[in-house]
Chains A and B, each alone.
Chain A
Amino acid sequence: GAVVSQHPSWVICKSGTSVKIECRSLDFQATTMFWYRQFPKQSLMLMATSNEGSKATYEQGVEKDKFLINHASLTLSTLTVTSAHPEDSSFYICSARVEYYGYTFGSGTRLTVV
């Protein structure tokens, strides 16, 4: 149980375009969703925390206008990278709090901006 399905697994987009990453909780209700970014050979960096029905709370240094997070329902949270540039290329991971396990993670999205 407690599965988060993240799509797409990988995406290549042109500089200046926007990309949407979706995370769906398949068998539970995700009240809180965390969005992480991971650069090669580095740890996970928390970008923002979103609670269903509320605006996301962004970590210091994360541009909220560039990384739009929507958590409009208990089963869907999205991250949209707007006007993407090569420096936005990274591995993005969503995670939801789960009562017993603690946390469950999406499989990640590898974004490459060319």
Chain B
Amino acid sequence: AQKVTQAQTEISVVEKEDVTLDCVYETRDTTYYLFWYKQPPSGELVFLIRRNSFDEQNEISGRYSWNFQKSTSSFNFTITASQVVDSAVYFCALNLMDSNYQLIWGAGTKLIIKP
């Protein structure tokens, strides 16, 4: 089965704390892509990262970092020194290597950053 699990429904932290959002996936494909998107209250999805299954290097972009571990089928997302503007729902997604390349979405994690 192809599946993405974001076990954390909601996380609340105080500004400047570090926070990690978990993502665990299941797929029988050997080639796949994983994504993280941010959805602020406006509803518009914001692309954060795409990672292919052959690239296990961790990635850092400013305060954001991603830890991809194929051994545990996880693709976790860490925000360092969180800010109020980081408050949003974050989705992890896996794309199927079928003819249409559908995305399989996690349930999302609502992140609340308190001032």
State the A residues within 8 Å of B (CB).
Answer: 32, 34, 38, 41-44, 46, 49, 51, 57, 91, 93, 95, 97, 101-105, 107-108, 110
> Are A108 and B47 closer than 8 Å at their CB atoms?
no
Which of A103, A105, A107 has the most chain B CB atoms inside 10 A of its CB? A103
Per-position binary interface string of chain B over residues 103-114, scored 1 when its CB falls under 8 Å from any chain A CB and 0 otherwise: 101111010000
13 residue pairs of the A-B complex, CB under 8 angstroms, read: A38-B43, A41-B110, A42-B107, A43-B91, A43-B106, A44-B103, A51-B100, A91-B43, A95-B103, A97-B101, A102-B50, A107-B42, A108-B44
Count contacts between A and B, CB distance < 8 Å: 49
Query: For the complex, is B64 an interface residue (Cβ under 8 Å from A)?
Result: no
Partner of A105, one of B44, B101, B110: B44
Which of A44, A46, A91, A107 has the most chain B CB atoms inside 10 A of its CB? A44
> Are A49 and B50 closer than 8 Å at their CB atoms?
no
> Are B107 and A43 closer than 8 Å at their CB atoms?
yes
Query: For the complex, is B102 an interface residue (Cβ under 8 Å from A)?
Result: yes
Q: A47 to chain B: closest CB distance in Å?
A: 12
> Are A107 and B44 closer than 8 Å at their CB atoms?
yes
Partner of A101, one of B50, B100, B105: B50
